[in-house]
Structure 1
């Protein structure tokens, strides 16, 4: 998708927050179901302590797959971003590869490590990028 620079409208901070809230709800529901199913299997196969470990790692994997698969798909958006009409693209306004989407997801560690200040970057950056967008070389735009 090629964009003329005059056509591009970067997603607002509030739109991104709203999308994040929706995604969190969807992701929690998915994680509960997946953890419940795998927790039952691990409990019976490996004992009571194993289900906690399995649940922890499943949470990490489910979150990673959720964001990386949705954002690198043809939709270029998670359910929350779709609902609010925004997409994630690379800085050349192309669809993310799975690798870049993975990098963007794990770059959120930097946004979190700044006590959340990395998530506030869209309030003062020209392209409304978070710290993890800057690290991953991505932008979030209105469709």
Structure 2
């Protein structure tokens, strides 16, 4: 007998639940919620007459179909922890909350900025110097309208600095995500990136899609970049726009190497 995928009581630890993918136990676990399994007389598992099922369900006396231990327990289908209670990937890994995602992104942005300074520092210095040498902050003469146009020469410094910063960000993301699925910022908050349908660190092409989409959003319009950041707040799969493009999810917990 096959049981549908979902969260069931862990046969190896009654204080936890474990995700059953429909054929095998996965390695995803979470603390158990709800009352403990119904026990019959003398502390023995309830029989089929007491639970309304025919005989003992898998995990209540008969070996299940999983590779490890028993299959899902029959009583789990009676409402005790059946089905995911939190947003998760198809195989049951919990999706990351929005605030943690934003905090991890801020941490990574600070790290990338510091790492990129040896490459971008000169350009930023010349950019600031050009701003100071311009009349941007000068007091306008009486009877004239103040203008806030940036001097053209400023762009010859800010554009190279931005491009170099993006390339450093690409190298940073590619190095960490393809190896462990988590940048230092995400590791600090217990998060990682994976393909939505496949666990493990994302492949290189997926990392490139995530980086390219976020970079394009930022160059096209700041508002579009803001929408990208806010999108997980209302998306049922908790994906940002760049996650949609790359088919990824930010999840709670680490990724095991394939």
**Superposition TM-score, scaled by structure 1 size:** 0.77
Unaligned runs of 5+ in 2: 1-25, 29-89, 123-155, 254-258
Question: Residue by residue, what CA displacement relative to the aligned partner does 1:100-138 show, whole Å, maximum 9, x if unpaired?
Answer: 101111111465442511211111112211010011000
Question: Who is 1:117 aligned against?
Answer: 227
Question: Is structure 2 residue 166 aligned with structure 1 residue 81?
Answer: no
Pair 1:102–1:115, CA change in 2 (3 A): closer
Q: Taking structure 1 as reference, are residues 56 and 121 closer, same or farther at Cα in structure 2, changes over 3 Å only?
A: closer
Pick one of 78, 81, 95 that aligns with 2:201: 95
In the alignment, what sits opposite 2:99?
Answer: 14
Consecutive unaligned residues of structure 1, counting only runs of 5 or more, are: 40-50
Task: Name the Cα RMSD after superposition.
Answer: 2.6
1:29 has 2:117 as partner = no
Greater share of helix: 1
Change in Cα spacing, 1:90 to 1:3, as seen in structure 2 (3 Å) is farther
- The separation in 2 between residues aligned to 1:88 and 1:103, in whole angstroms, is 13
Tell me, yes or no, if the aligned pair for 1:87 and 1:140 is still in contact at 8 Å: yes
Pick from 235, 238, 242 the counterpart of residue 132 of structure 1.
242
User: Compared with structure 1, are the counterparts of its residues 31 and 89 closer, same or farther at alpha carbon in structure 2 (3 Å cutoff)?
Assistant: same
**How many residues get paired?**
130
CA contact (8 A) 1:110 1:132 kept: no
Preserved contact between residue 112 and residue 165 of structure 2 (Cα < 8 Å): no
Q: Deviations over 1:61-98 (max 9, x none)?
A: 1111111221111x211110000000000112232111
Which whole-Å CA distance do the structure 2 matches of 1:126 and 1:56 have between them? Answer: 33
The 2-side partners of 1:21 and 1:125 are apart by 21
Alpha-carbon spacing, 1:110–1:60, altered in 2? closer, same or farther (3 Å): closer
**Which one scores higher on RCO, CA 8 angstroms, separation ≥ 6?**
1
Q: Which residue of 1 aligns with 2:138?
A: none
Maintained 8 Å contact 1:111/1:117: no
